[in-house]
Every structure is written in C-alpha cells, then in structure tokens.
C-alpha cells in the first residue's frame, strides 16, 4: 500500500504532512506502518482504516531506527520485536526522543536553587522533544523579604522570563518547545500575572493559565471580596491582599478579549473529577526505595528514626541545607541490604539512590568501593541580632559594659574575618585598629540579656540564655563559634574558651538543645608562647570538641560558622572523613519507610546525602501519551453510529497505548518522569473528527440531538477504556500505586463504569490510573482531512493565494474536505447551498460550544484541550458569561480566541481579503540596480560576540532600502557570515521585498546562546536576541529615520522603475513559518490549513 492509496491522490496536504512530519529515512508507507504499529496487526488495521492514530510524537519517534535493519533483517531471522528494542536501548542507538507530548515539571520551590533546577529540567525535557507545564505558585510574591543582597524578591512572575527564554533556546526538529505556566488565583502576584501578556516582548515562548478555585468563582458570582495570601516558610512572613473578586475576574476576561490569555483552569474540578480523586497517595509519585525503621533522618529537631517519624510531616534538612516540609510513611515489608562503612551501617532497599562524593547517583546495591557524599551545607536563617551578640560574647571587651564613661563596646576582628564587617555593616562603628572596631550602642541590650561584665577568663553565658527560643540560642552560638570556633583537620569542630563554666554550659546546651551527644572537653595547661613582640603566658584554656560524624552534621545544620572560609574548611574536612563503602551485603525482608523531600529530592539520612523515596505531586495528565480515534469513520451508510465497532477500537487503542508506554519508559528525559510513568501508568486516548461525524449523521453541532449523541459516545468510550484496563490488570497486574478503595469511591468511576466493568475492576484492579484525554490533533486531523478534537469545523472554506508566472497573486477558495465531498455528491455549486447542520465556529453560539465540551468532560478523566473561537464583535461581557458558564457546567479549563484580537494567531475567513497592489511592482525575477545617488545611515550594534557595524543605504526619493553592509569589530562574530547576510538583504531589497518583510524574517531567527549569556551578564547588548534580530531592529530604526528625513509619513510614495513599498502589515493575523499562509487557532493550537504546519503536534 502507498500513502497515496491510504490518504487519496487528491489529499496533497495530507501526503505532505506525512512526508514532512511522520516519515523517517525515506521509509515506504508499509515500513512506516510496521514501525508505528510496533508489529501489532490490530493497530495496523485501525490505522489503514483511518479509525485510530497515535499522537504525533509516537508517529514520528516510535522505533525511529532504520526499519530495513531492524525489521527486515532481524525479524526475518525470527527475532522478537521487543528483544530488538531492548537491544537498541542498551546499545544507546535510539535517538533521545520521547513518545510523550508533554510533562508536568515539579513546581519550583521558593529558593534560587530550586528555581534554576526547574530551568534545567525544562531544558532536558525539551531536548527530548517533550512539552512542559509548570506551576509557579510556590514562589514568593514581589516584595517579600529575602536574606541576601537583594533584600526583597522580584516575585514569582519575574522568573517566567527565564523559563520562556529556556523554551526559546532549545530546538526540537526545527521548532521550539511548548510551555504552559500556571499560577494560583490565591497568589498575591495575580494581577501582575494577568497583565504580563499585554507586554508583547515578554514571555513570548509560553502560554499562561490561572488555577481558579470554586471559592474564587463563588466570590465573583456574589460580588464578594477575596483574599490573596502567601506565607514564606523561610522567614515566616505572610503577605496578604484583599481584592474585589469580580474586578479581578473582569481583568482576566479583558486580557482574554485582547490577548487570548491567560486561560482558566478550574482546579477543584481538575482534582475532583478523575479516577484518583479519592487516592491520597496520588499527591506523591511513590517509588520503591525505602529505609529500615531504625535509620535516622535529619530533622530540625535532630536525627529521628523513621519509626518515630512515621505518619508525621516533619521539617527536614535537604542537600542544600534548606529546611523543607517532608512526609514519612511505612510502605510495607521489602528485601533490604546492609551498607557497611568504617564506623556506620545503613539498611535500605537495594535500589535506593545515594549521592557519591563526585556528585553522581548510585544505587545502594552498587555502592561497594565508592565514597558516599556527606552532609556539608546549611542555609539556616539566623536572628542577626543574636548572631552579633554571640560574636560580642566571644570577641568583645565587656569589662566596661556598665561604665558610664564608655557608650560603646570594643570588638576584636581577626585578619581573616573580613566577613564580620558585613555582619556589623548596618551598625554604627568606628575602626579602632587593624583588628578591632568600636561599636556604638548595644550596651543596654546586652545588660538586659544578662551578659557577663567580667574579663574573658570568668565570662559565662548570659543570665537569660535558658529562656531564649531555639533559634535565638542557635543564632547566639553561631556568633560564638564564628568568634572562637575552628575546624581541626583530624576531624573535629572546636570551641576554645578560658572560662571553664562557659565550656561546661556550652557542652550542656549542645546536648540538651541541639541533640549533639558526643561532646567532650579537653584542658590546655598554662604555658608561655613567643610572639614577634615578646613572650607571653597563656592562661589555662578549655577546648569544647565535637568529633562524632553525625554530631558534626547536626552542628552544620543548626549552628555552623558565619565566615565563608570556615564553612569551606568544614566542608573539606567532612569530605575527607571516611565515607568509604567497603561492603554491601543482603540483609532481611523487613518493614521499611519512605519519605519525601519536595525541593531538591535529596535528604540526609545517617549523615549522608540520599535521594528521597517519592517525587513531587503530579496532577492527572503529568505525562501525556496520546492517541485519537476518528469518530467520522464510525458513521454507517444509514447515518447511525456503530457503537460495537467503536468499542472494539477503544479496546485495541488502550492496549496499543500501553504497549507504547512500556516500550518508551527508558525514553523519558528525567528520572522523576520515569518513576511517575512506571508507578501510575497514565495514557491519554482521545477523539478527533467529531464535527465530521455529526455532519455525516445530519446532526447540527451543539443541538440537543448532538449533545445526546456525544453523551452516548462518551459514556461508551469511558466504560470500554476502564474495562480494557481491568482486563490488562488481569494479565499484567494493576499499576504499582493502585488503591482499590480509592478507585471505587471515585465519582468519575461511579458515573462512567457499568455493572460488568465494575465487577472486573473489583476483581482485577486497573492497569492504568488515567485513560482518556482530548488533545489537539491539528496535524493528524489535517492529514486525514477531518476536524480536530471536539472542535466544530472552523470554516466551510479557506482562501489560498497562488502566484502566476507574471508575479501577480491570485486568490481562490479551498473547501474543507467534508464540505467538498458533500458538495460533489449533491451537485452543489456554492457553500451557501449547504444544509443548516453545516455550522462553523464563527457562527456557533458560544453556549452550545461550552455545553458540548461539558458533555464530553463528564466522560473524560483527564483534560480537554479546547479553544472557543468567537467573532471580533464578541464583547467583554460575553467573555465573562462564557467563562462563568464553563465553570458552572463543570469544565476543567477553556480558552477563547476572538478573531482580530491584539495577540494575533488565527486564520480569517473574511471575504474582504486585501489583494496586494501589484500594478507597479517589479516582475518576478527582476532586480533593480542601486546607483551612487543614495543616502547612508549607520548603527553600531553590541552582540553576544562583540561589536557589529551596520550600514544601510536608502533611495533619496522614496526612502526605500537599497543596500546594506555589515562588518564586525575586533571581536564581532563571523566576517564571512556578515558579508553573506548583507548581500542577501541587499538582493531582497532591490528585488522588491519591503523592509518590514525582510526584518520579519530576520526576527524569526530565534535566540543565540552567546547573545543570551552576554545579555544576562553584561547587560550591554543591543535590542534583540541574536545578530540577525538586532540587525533587523537597527534596519527598522534607520528606515523610519530615513522616512522622517524625507517627510514621508504614509510611506506610500511610488516612483517609476522602483518597487512599491508594501505597507507594514497592521493585521494581527500571523503567517505560517513554513508557507506564509495565514494560521488558524483550533484546539488551543496554531494550525496552517495550507501546508499542515502545527505548533502542537
């Protein structure tokens, strides 16, 4: 079979899409069919019949090796398909491309490390071809206090630019990655988030949505106030704002009316309408690794055993020293191993991951002969006042504390302790000598706290110390150790004092307040020591020593040093201590425990850095493995729907998607994604061709009959999908995190599973935790010549342009395939003769469109990607009514697109298409010559590589661009590239191409990494994101300056033998990057009906 036979000779668009997007290595159609189906004859048959197609990622990437080598050679010699695949994975011969369309990335926590860790995950996922969704609701709002040089944070929205930049940098086979950023409606940065898309220069590579709660919508409906609130765990600061709920809802709708964003995600519906709505464990993608109950986890109140912590949510320290909220639970009995070190033993499951001394990951069973990473960092927030008090206690002159003649205190600062000047930077002081300062004030505070007024040999702890809070005590000791503490190379942390009572009290508080047990005191007898200026007798002193490994890790977490050099000494000392694993041996099958660390996924157990046992929450649809059923192929000749055939197709498709899931497990970019896919087994079977199906049945889209038909089809689809998953569970077992009680209590399951299906689930369980989703099908739908998803047909016809041999553009109608077939079969001459059930998106009442999606959402356990296309005349009040109806009807989310809005991005069907004025244009292929009578202008551009000189020469009469010359500075980039680019721009300008069209192409060049790095570090680059973009900006600036010089305001002068200036395109309708035709916005995705280009699939 050939692709022409499959799609039809006349379907040139579909054939073109297949060849450009889904065909690999010039394979034949039969080879493609074998590759994509994975040898499954049932799937192969459905594809040939156009009843089912996998998602675009699967069609492009599945088994993307040379089919001739894999299938013809290996299979002809009896090799099993799965064996071939496993061998390819192990040999690393497969390209690193995922089968999944999109992933939910773990939300960034409120720390700079987590924010940039999220950026890393985005980049890695994009490099594998996946799209991403992230929620930034955990990031602190603008103005929150931070303890660094910035003093306050720039807010959650500011980091959207970073994530957008990453999305623009990583290329995926000629296109950029897809990113969705969401924010809670309760976040104080909500208004800034709403308005960010009104700046067309910001966050250009991401779509945005707001997580809307029922509480917010009720407040909108009742015109009530609503509270925005955020509490920072690091500082305890709470930021709140009270807003008018309706006013903010109105702002969201205005933004949608203007810019088609932000979309609305009705979050309570998302969480409550799926198979896992009653499964508390779904908040964590549980993994197998666990620890024995006797092992100890480092918490903010010391090391605690997992048995003690089971069922609690303690605050723990992570690998970066940050304090995060955890959760500990028992996960049953499992086989374990015993890891033996010089002085420690760790008992855990064999696959638990540890960080080794070189920063790599290693499973417990493979640790023999390796060094485990010790805990070395702390970012504990201290009370700065008590830190200063601690330093004064150790290195301050307090004998004149109650003297009336001295208003301040002398504080000694060592030569290496330059950091201490930063500690006192906000205080008034004078420098007394190289090693001391005179600090104004503080006397009253120190006296109030009961500080000792004696000399160092007799200076004890402040009288009020025992009444201080835990953090005040830690902060005080932080200052004390910064003054008189040190790191001893043989593996000790030492505090030296000449006061025996102070040493004893320090030892006591370390034990009682900080759980540091192995503290011991050594006495140094009086002795004489020679100094450059003479010999002095040193008094008897006492060293308070912390020498046990775990005790030092507690010191690091709770106290530590202020000075950076002491912290570095401590880190080096810890890494040099014996953490060598000399054996790993099988242990027993015992009860084991899990914990989570949601920020970095690395916690501290027995003093070592270990991976947590579960990942961050992932909502339903965390990984989108897609396939769609073409509903239009199930309409019988007598205009009825073939439910029996449809159910059979659903069953085969669910089995096929599970096969792809197993096969593609190694191809997910991140470990957390592989864990989630393995444990929850989420697939997303959807539909396409709904509009074609209803037209074939003679039913008007949105009518009561259509809603009833959709309800029956959707119910049959849900029940069959659940039943098939149960039968797969019978054969292969339920998904690892299956909870039978939670599934049976799910409202979605109760409403959609019929009696026999419920019996199967009760007996065997489910093989998948998610089954259905309706995703954009722009390319696959266009390839088959049908409508996408649940969308109505956008228009009966589209306008296309063709160029004649004389360069004159001509326009003609191209009818939608379903319209063309009907008109041909019934001898119609014009679309005005079509029956009334041929209704298009622009003429459909929005209420009918919302009601259709609501019917389908009843039967879809995940989400529906959908855009409601509305005419330009659609009012803001109607936008408000549309979103309110969507919430009331139980949609999980929806976006709108108003024709002609400011954002642009939709194909128009307006008959008032403006034909270009070609009467005075150059004939095709003609190039005019630029004489010496021209006016030159120059700009110097700063690029990622250095300076670039840009010269442009214009016609003195019309102001049109004629020639350009680009030359680099001493470090300005590639000289030959600049020459070539300037020649091509000159050629285009003299060939009649207007400057705006030239610049439009230049500005489509994307982001240059060198440009981005210099922009972020030196902040001196010219406007743009790469050399071509910056050149384009300079050309426009010089062009406008030239037009102003000659007094040409309307830019419409015409002269003989000169190309007419094609006016700047004021339209908001963007063009396809492949063929230049107008795009259309359908199912939340830009689609070209001319060449099949799609941003989504």
**Which pLDDT score, from 0 to 100, does residue 418 have?**
81
User: Picking from 214-223, 474-483, 686-695, 795-804, which range would have the lowest pLDDT averaged per residue?
Assistant: 795-804
In the chain, domain spans:
102-261, 287-374+578-611, 384-531+554-568, 778-911+1078-1087, 935-1045
Q: What percent of the chain has pLDDT over 70?
A: 85
The pLDDT of residue 765 = 94
Q: CB under 8 Å to 1077, separation ≥6 — which residues?
A: 800, 801, 1071, 1088, 1089, 1090, 1091
CA 253 remoteness from chain centre: 25
Which residues neighbour 593 within 8 Å (Cβ) at sequence distance 6 or greater?
290, 291, 292, 293, 295, 306, 307, 309, 310, 328, 329, 330, 331, 613
Q: What is the second-level CATH architecture of the domain 384-531+554-568?
A: Roll (3.10)
Name the CATH superfamily housing domain 287-374+578-611: Hedgehog/Intein (Hint) domain (2.170.16.10)
Span 758-781, pLDDT tens digits: 999 999 999 999 999 998 887 888
Highest mean pLDDT among 180-194, 968-982, 1031-1045: 180-194
Q: What is the average pLDDT score of the chain? A: 83
Rounded Cα distance between 375 and 355, Å, is 10
Q: In this predicted structure, what is the pLDDT of residue 1080?
A: 66
Q: What CATH architecture is 935-1045? A: Alpha-Beta Complex (3.90)
pLDDT digits (tens, 9 = 90+) for 471-517: 999 999 999 999 999 999 778 999 999 999 999 999 999 999 998 98
In this prediction, residue 454 has a pLDDT band, given cuts at 50, 70 and 90, of confident
**Range of lowest pLDDT (227-236, 651-660, 1062-1071):** 1062-1071
What pLDDT is attached to residue 163?
Answer: 92
Choice between 478 and 443, residue whose per-residue pLDDT is larger: 478
Query: Using one digit for the tens of pLDDT, what is the confidence trace for 559-592?
Result: 999 999 999 999 888 888 768 999 999 998 888 8
C-alpha to C-alpha distances, 23 to 5, 8, 72, 92, 668, nearest whole angstrom: 16, 17, 17, 22, 22
What mean pLDDT do residues 326-341 have? 84
* Beta strands 583-596 and 291-292, pairing class: antiparallel
Q: What is the pLDDT of residue 81?
A: 47
Phi, psi of 966 (to 5 degrees): -120, 135
Residues 321 and 380 sit within 8 Å (Cβ to Cβ): yes
Task: Tell me how far apart the alpha carbons of residues 349 and 354 are, in angstroms, rounded to a whole number.
Answer: 12
With a pLDDT cut of 90, the percent of the chain lying above it is: 38
Q: Is the pLDDT of residue 916 over 50?
A: no
- Other residues' Cβ atoms within 10 Å of the Cβ of residue 993: 17
Q: Is the pLDDT of residue 407 over 60?
A: yes
User: What is residue 733's predicted lDDT score, i.e. its pLDDT?
Assistant: 93
Reading the block at residue 207, the tokens are 């779509």
Does the pLDDT value for residue 1071 go beyond 70? Answer: no
Give the pLDDT confidence of 34-74 residue by residue, as tens digits: 999 998 999 999 999 999 999 888 998 888 654 334 443 45
Write out pLDDT tens, residues 208-223: 999 999 999 999 999 9
Q: Poorest-confidence range of 323-327, 677-681, 794-798, 928-932?
A: 928-932
- The pLDDT of 431-444, averaged and rounded, is 80
Cis preceding linkage at 493, omega within 30: no
**pLDDT bucket at 286, cuts 50 / 70 / 90:** very low
**CA separation for the pair 608, 625 (Å, rounded):** 37
CA atoms of 1031 and 965, how far apart (whole Å): 11
Q: Which residue has the tokens 């800034």?
A: 192
Residue 621 has pLDDT above 80, yes or no: no
901 or 54: which carries more pLDDT confidence?
54
Residue 1019 has pLDDT above 90, yes or no: no
What mean pLDDT comes out for the span 806-824?
73
DSSP state of 1021: P
Query: Would the pLDDT of 925 be above 50?
Result: yes
Write out pLDDT tens, residues 179-188. 889 999 999 9
Whole-number Cα distances in Å, 727 to 138, 310, 348, 768: 40, 36, 35, 11
Predicted confidence at residue 495, as pLDDT, reads 96
Of 649, 604, 608, 656, the C-alpha closest to 630 is 649
Can you list the alpha helix ranges (DSSP code H) found in 827-892? Answer: 846-857, 876-888
Average pLDDT over residues 601-619: 70
Q: How many CB atoms lie within 10 A of CB 720?
A: 23
Between 594 and 710, residue with greater pLDDT: 710
Q: With bands split at pLDDT 50, 70 and 90, how would you rate the model's confidence at 1066?
A: very low
Q: What pLDDT score was predicted for residue 918?
A: 37
pLDDT score for 619: 39
Angstrom distance (rounded) from CA 1040 to CA 1022: 18
Measure the N-to-C terminal CA separation of the chain; round to a whole number of Å: 25
**CA–CA dist 280, 286 (Å, integer):** 11
**Beta strand segments in 879-1018, E:** 893-898, 935-942, 947-954, 961-968
Residues 274-289: what's their mean pLDDT?
Answer: 56
Q: Strand ranges (DSSP E) for 45-107?
A: 52-54, 102-104
Residue 259: the pLDDT is 86
pLDDT band at 906 (very low <50, low <70, confident <90, very high): very low
Tell me the pLDDT band of 613, cut-offs 50, 70 and 90.
Answer: low
Q: How confident is the model at residue 94 (pLDDT cuts 50, 70, 90)?
A: low
Alpha helices in 542-606 (DSSP H): 549-558, 564-576
Q: Vertex 515, ends 513 and 521: CA angle to 5°?
A: 90
Q: What is the pLDDT of residue 834?
A: 92
For residues 729-745, average pLDDT: 88
Q: Which has more confidence, 69 or 404?
A: 404
pLDDT at 595 over 90: no
């Amino acid at each position: 079979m050939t692709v022409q036979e499959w799609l039809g000779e006349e379907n040139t668009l579909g054939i073109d899409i297949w060849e450009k997007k889904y065909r690999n290595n010039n394979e034949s159609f039969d080879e493609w069919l074998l590759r994509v189906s994975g040898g499954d004859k049932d799937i192969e048959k459905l594809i040939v019949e156009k009843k089912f197609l996998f998602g675009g990622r699967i069609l492009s990437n599945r088994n993307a090796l040379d089919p001739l080598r894999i299938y013809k050679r290996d299979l002809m010699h009896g090799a099993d398909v799965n064996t071939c695949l496993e061998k390819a994975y192990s040999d690393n011969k497969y390209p690193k491309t995922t089968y999944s369309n999109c992933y939910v990335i773990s939300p960034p926590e409120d720390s700079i490390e987590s924010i940039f860790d999220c950026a890393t995950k985005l980049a890695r996922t994009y490099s594998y071809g996946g799209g991403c969704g992230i929620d930034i609701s955990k990031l602190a709002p603008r103005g929150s206090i931070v303890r660094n040089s910035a003093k306050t944070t720039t807010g959650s929205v500011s980091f959207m630019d970073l994530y957008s930049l990453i999305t623009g940098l990583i290329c995926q086979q000629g296109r950029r990655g897809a990113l969705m950023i969401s924010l809670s409606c309760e976040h104080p940065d909500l208004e800034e988030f709403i308005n960010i898309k009104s700046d067309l220069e910001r966050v250009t590579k991401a779509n945005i949505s707001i997580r809307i709660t029922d509480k917010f919508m009720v407040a909108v409906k009742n015109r009530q106030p609503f509270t925005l609130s955020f509490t920072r765990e690091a500082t305890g600061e709470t930021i709140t704002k009270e807003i008018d709920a309706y006013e903010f809802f109105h702002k969201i709708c205005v933004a949608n009316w203007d810019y088609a964003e932000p979309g609305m995600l009705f979050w309570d519906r998302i969480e409550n309408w799926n198979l896992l709505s009653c499964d508390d464990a779904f908040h964590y993608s549980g993994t197998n690794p666990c620890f024995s109950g006797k092992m100890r986890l480092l918490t903010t109140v010391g090391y605690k055993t997992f048995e003690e912590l089971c069922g609690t949510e303690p605050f723990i320290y992570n690998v970066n020293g940050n304090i995060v909220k955890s959760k500990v639970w028992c996960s049953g009995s499992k086989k374990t191993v015993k890891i033996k070190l010089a002085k420690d033993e760790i008992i855990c499951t064999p696959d638990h991951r540890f960080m080794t001394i070189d920063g790599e990951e290693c499973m417990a069973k493979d640790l023999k002969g390796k060094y485990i990473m010790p805990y070395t960092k702390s970012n504990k927030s201290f009370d700065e006042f008590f830190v200063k008090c601690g330093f004064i206690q150790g290195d301050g002159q307090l004998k004149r504390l109650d003297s009336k003649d001295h208003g301040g205190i002398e504080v000694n600062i060592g030569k290496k302790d330059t950091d201490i000047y930063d500690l006192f930077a906000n205080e008034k002081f004078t420098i007394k000598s190289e090693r001391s300062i005179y600090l104004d004030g503080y006397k009253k505070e120190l006296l109030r706290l009961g500080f000792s007024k004696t000399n160092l040999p007799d200076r004890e702890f402040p009288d009020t110390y025992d009444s201080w809070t835990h953090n005040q005590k830690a902060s005080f000791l932080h200052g004390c150790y910064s003054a008189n503490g040190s790191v001893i190379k043989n593996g000790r942390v030492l505090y030296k004092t000449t006061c025996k009572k102070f040493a004893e009290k320090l030892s006591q508080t370390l034990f009682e307040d900080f759980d540091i047990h192995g503290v011991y005191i050594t006495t140094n007898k009086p002795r004489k020591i020679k100094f450059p200026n003479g010999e002095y007798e040193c008094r008897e002193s006492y060293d308070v020593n912390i020498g046990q490994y775990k005790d030092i890790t507690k010191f690091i977490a709770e106290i530590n040093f202020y000075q950076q050099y002491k912290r570095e000494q401590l880190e080096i000392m810890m890494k040099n201590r014996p953490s060598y694993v000399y054996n790993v041996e099988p242990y027993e099958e015992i009860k084991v425990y899990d914990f989570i660390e949601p920020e970095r996924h690395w916690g501290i157990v027995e003093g070592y850095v270990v991976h947590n046992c579960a990942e961050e929450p992932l909502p339903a649809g965390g990984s989108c493995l897609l396939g769609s059923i073409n509903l239009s192929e199930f309409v019988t000749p007598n205009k009825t729907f073939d439910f029996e055939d449809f159910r059979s197709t659903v069953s085969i498709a669910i089995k096929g998607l599970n096969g792809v899931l197993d096969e593609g497990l190694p191809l997910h970019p991140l470990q957390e994604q592989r864990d989630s896919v393995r444990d929850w087994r989420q697939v997303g079977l959807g539909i396409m061709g709904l509009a074609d199906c209803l037209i074939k049945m003679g039913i008007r889209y949105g009518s009561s009959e259509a809603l009833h038909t959709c309800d029956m089809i959707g119910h049959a689809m849900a029940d069959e999908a659940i039943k098939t998953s149960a039968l797969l569970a019978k054969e292969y077992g339920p998904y690892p995190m299956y909870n039978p009680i939670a599934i049976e209590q799910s409202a979605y399951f109760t409403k959609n599973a019929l009696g026999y299906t419920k019996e199967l689930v009760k007996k065997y369980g489910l093989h998948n935790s998610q089954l259905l989703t309706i995703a954009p099908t722009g390319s696959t739908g266009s390839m088959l010549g049908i409508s996408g998803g649940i969308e109505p047909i956008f228009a009966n016809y589209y306008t296309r342009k063709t160029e004649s041999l004389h360069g004159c553009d001509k326009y003609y109608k191209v009818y939608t395939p379903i319209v063309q077939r009907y008109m041909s079969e019934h001898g119609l001459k014009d679309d005005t003769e079509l029956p009334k059930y041929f209704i298009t998106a622009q003429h459909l009442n929005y209420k009918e469109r919302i009601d259709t999606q609501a019917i389908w959402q009843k039967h879809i356990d995940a989400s529906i990607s959908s855009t409601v296309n509305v005419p330009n005349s659609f009012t803001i009040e109607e936008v408000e009514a549309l979103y309110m109806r969507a919430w009331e009807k139980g949609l999980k989310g929806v976006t709108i697109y108003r024709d002609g809005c400011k954002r642009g991005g939709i194909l128009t069907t307006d008959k008032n298409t403006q034909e270009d004025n070609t009467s005075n244009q150059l004939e095709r292929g003609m190039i005019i010559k630029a004489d010496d009578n021209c006016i030159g202008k120059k700009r110097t551009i700063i690029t990622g590589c250095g300076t670039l000189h840009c010269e442009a020469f214009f016609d003195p009469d019309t102001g049109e661009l004629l020639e350009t010359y680009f030359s680099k500075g001493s470090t300005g980039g590639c000289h030959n590239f600049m020459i070539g680019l300037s020649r091509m721009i000159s050629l285009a300008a003299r060939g009649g191409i207007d400057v705006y069209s030239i610049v439009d192409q230049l500005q489509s060049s994307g982001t240059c990494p060198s440009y981005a790095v210099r922009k972020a570090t030196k902040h001196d680059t010219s406007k743009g994101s790469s050399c071509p973009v910056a050149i384009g900006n300079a050309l426009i600036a010089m062009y406008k300056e030239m037009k102003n010089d000659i007094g040409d305001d309307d830019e419409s002068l015409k002269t003989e033998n000169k190309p007419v200036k094609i006016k700047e395109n004021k339209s908001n309708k963007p063009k396809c990057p492949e063929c230049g035709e107008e795009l259309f916005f359908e199912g939340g995705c830009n689609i070209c009906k001319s060449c099949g280009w799609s941003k989504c699939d």
